[in-house]
Amino acid sequence: MSLTSDQMELREADIVKHYPAAVAMLDGFDHTPRIAQTTTPTRAEERSPGISRRRRFRSTTPGMVTQRTARPEGVHLIDRIEAADDSDVLTSPQQAVVLQSLRRAMAISLAVGETYSEQTALADLKRANLAGDLPATRKAEFSELLSAEALINLHVFGNALAYLMSSHQSETVVEIGEVQEVLTDNGQLALHGALWELDQELVKYASDDTHLVATVAAYAEQLMEKAALRAQTAPQLEAFNAAAWRIESDDLTIRGFSAASKAKSTTLTMTFKKPNEVVGNHIAKYQAMKLAKMLMAYDFDRRLNPFAELGGFIFTFMGDGQPGTGKTTLIQMMAGMINDYCQIAGYPFRYQNLSTDNIDSYQGKSGQNAKSFVDTILDPSVIGFGTIDDIDTLAGKRGDRQSSSGQLEITAVLMESFAGANTVVRGNCTFGMFSNYPENVDDALRQRAGARFLVDGPQTRDDYIDILYLLMGKNHDIPLGNHEVFAAQEIKKAVAASFASHSRPHEAGLMQVFDQIQDDIGELDTIAKMGSYLKGIQQADSRFTGRAIKNITDAVKVRAMDFELPDEWMEDPDLFLFRNYDTKMGMISELRQPITVEMVIQEINRYADSEFRYADKSDEVAINDLIRDFGRTEEAKRRYLEGKS
């Protein structure tokens, strides 16, 4: 992948020149921990007397064998790593991978730190400090810059190490806990502290080569996360956050304190469905099909989707309906379409579902699971599709005493990720939330769904004939009768009818508001009149806030993109997918349609209908619960009085 306009090349020569310093640190250094506690006893000390604690021989020159004596004090990561398998005197392939990755990650870290130093005043201040000429007025600035460099060194080291180790990990997972020895005096001391703590983790967990790889990878992730957290409030980091460094030989891009990851697809085992196998659900099916093609317009070099820039991209959506109406089938259809498109284009596709298995009894773990799920799908180097099935049972409703702390943690993470201060919609991924009982979803979280898909299943006589024909299969001789199979599922005709049906509201409560507003001000044919209608809805339901208006206008912009990208654009990537960003933007812009009053009214009614539907269900559930409570109370009184008499 070539450099983009916002990237700088980190030359191989600038990395390799730091190899000697990296190897020297791996070979051995002394460090007295300031924050973390020393792990005792070490694994080496647990070995039987007389057994060597390290590789006995190491060849350093071709044709010669030399003996190396390990010093008992200090940190010696090379010896520690080579002792992971205890018995074999030869370095294993996994150990070699870990050592090579550590050296490479440290060299990258030192190279980026050096670049940052030259881009800021730090390099000059270091030279002045060495010469004893550092002005007293600049000592505070010097200290801040050194701390910034230390955080950069730590994050880049963890980031590069996690990236380099990712393709070597197995199913083995090691939980190492939070990194503690994060020192910010200067870059070298910061790396010493990190390597010392890594050595401590290897003592505890690296019992064999598999656990060695897992421990190093886990530590790299934790170090990167801790450094990024500390950097949120640290000064002098503007130059680093605003830049990106590209390392071609590793296919690695360092972008501030964002985690890099290899563009790996997930292996999908689900049964995919074809669009004609989704009966009914016309609007939901149509929008899912459009969204699958929209995702493919993502530009990996620009890291942006033209649809996201033009305003017609669906980042989050909610599908709701009764059990058995086709929510799972809709997921299978959309995931199958994206998977097929990505295989044709050679793009990495990542699908993941957040399920109730991610709710953990340990405090904070549920939130970590949800954050990991979101970050996996948001990864800008892949096309992502994340689903949250039965979100009403997974994410807790704030103020509900029955919601566990784990459920509330998941709610908080999803709310921040879907519409938080740091949310960036690139257009490479989408999140779908599905529920049989959307009224039980937290109001603020539900409103973060930019689009609403009513999954109501088969509705017409033709729908029911089609679904019976589909599910019966072909292992029978029953005649079809007077019916054209799947003619009712012709998507454009069905969708046009579905959209037209929303020219008037469906829910009784909203219909009263609609009729009252029209009686008062006439036909809703101007922005002012439609604004009055929105205000009337808000007076009837106080939860209809500014976020609802944004979701409606986003849906209107999607309607302006009311076209499907031609199938041949997906089948032949050279026609569209492999074009540059500006060309894609022009091709999409030519297909846009003008926004009409009918579109706006229909989208207001579609969205408001869903909110009124949720409110009515929620109220009905609450009333039924109270009736049951009153009945139990009365029955308890009756039995109590009978027992007294």
Q: Which domains does the chain have, with CATH numbers?
A: 8-255 (no CATH), 275-621 (3.40.50.300)
608-631 average pLDDT score: 71
Residues 644 and 636: beta-carbon distance below 8 Å: no
Task: Name which of 58-72, 255-269, 317-331, 382-396 the model is least confident about.
Answer: 58-72
Tokens of 253: 């891009």
312-338 average pLDDT score: 85
Q: What is the mean pLDDT of the chain?
A: 83
Higher pLDDT among residues 222 and 170, named by residue: 222
Task: Name which of 238-242, 283-287, 427-431, 504-508 the model is least confident about.
Answer: 283-287
Question: In terms of Cα–Cα distance, which of 602, 394, 390 is closest to 510?
Answer: 602
Tokens of 424: 């960036």
Q: Report the relative pairing of strands 429-435 and 252-255 from DSSP bridges.
A: unpaired
Q: Which residue has the tokens 């992730």?
A: 221
The DSSP call for residue 382 is S
Q: What is d(CA 407, CA 395) in angstroms, rounded to the nearest whole number?
A: 5
SS (H, E, C) 142-175: HHHHHHHHHHHHHHHHHHHHHHHHHHHCCCCCCC
**Confidence band, pLDDT 50/70/90 cuts, at residue 39:** low
Tokens of 404: 């566990």
pLDDT over 60 at 68, yes or no: no
**Amino acid letter, residue 504:** R
pLDDT over 50 at 48, yes or no: no
Phi, psi of 35 (to 5 degrees): -115, -55
505-528 average pLDDT score: 90
Percent of the chain with pLDDT over 70: 86
Name residue 351's beta-bridge partners.
385
pLDDT over 70 at 557, yes or no: yes
Burial 581-615 (b: 16+ CB within 10 A, else e): beebbebbeeeeeeeeeebbbbbbbbbbbbbbbbb
- What's the pLDDT score for residue 492? 58
H runs (alpha helix) in 379-404: 391-394
Whether the pTM exceeds 0.85: the reply is: no
> What angle, 0 to 180 degrees and rounded to 10, lies between the N-to-C axes of helices 93-119 and 139-165?
150
Residues 354 and 386: beta-carbon distance below 8 Å: yes
Higher pLDDT among residues 82 and 484, named by residue: 82
pLDDT over 50 at 136, yes or no: yes
Contact residues for 621 (Cβ-Cβ < 8 A; gap 6+): 439, 440
- What's the pLDDT score for residue 296? 93
Task: Name which of 248-252, 268-272, 587-591 the model is least confident about.
Answer: 268-272
**Confidence band, pLDDT 50/70/90 cuts, at residue 147:** very high
Enclosing H/E stretch for 585: helix 581-589
- What's the pLDDT score for residue 149? 95
**Confidence band, pLDDT 50/70/90 cuts, at residue 44:** very low
**Confidence band, pLDDT 50/70/90 cuts, at residue 189:** very high
Q: What is d(CA 488, CA 506) in angstroms, rounded to the nearest whole number?
A: 22
